[in-house]
Amino acid sequence: MEKVLNLIAMVLAVIVPQLKKADALHGIKELKEAFIASMEVALLCFKLFRDGVQVTDFAEFYAQLTTNAEFKEKIKKGWEDAKLIPEEVKDIDTGEALELIGVAVDYTPKFVEQFSKKEEKAA
């Protein structure tokens, strides 16, 4: 599966620049940052809640948000200038959409890893 994801990422790296509009007004910087932040939150929630929701999970989420600098920065970037996202979405082109798919492809192994850990725990 890793080889397939690497191949998809390589193809997207070649195709995306070709499909972006030269006259794009907004780009997708804020949308991409918000998408990355949501993927990070989803990963953390899945990790914390896979054995059921407990009060300690919320404390751990808060601890990650306040002490994990990388996680905190991604969430901060995803929230800053979020008001610009509607304009970016209105102007999105095929290349930009594929760029977002590329982000999802990059996160796929992380989600697979979390799902695998769940299966191992259940076994």
List the domain range (segments joined by +) for residue 58: 2-122
Q: What angle do CA 108, 111, 113 make, to 5 degrees?
A: 110
Alpha-carbon Rg for the chain, nearest whole angstrom, is: 17
- Count of the separate structural domains present in the chain: 1
- Provide CB contacts within 8 A for 81, sequence distance 6+: 30
Tell which wins on pLDDT, 10 or 39: 39
- Taking the C-alpha atoms of residue 69 and residue 118, their distance in angstroms, rounded to an integer, is 26
- Checking if the pLDDT of 74 tops 60, the result is yes
Q: Kindly report the pTM of this predicted structure.
A: 0.76
% of the chain exceeding 90 in pLDDT = 41
- Taking the C-alpha atoms of residue 100 and residue 64, their distance in angstroms, rounded to an integer, is 25
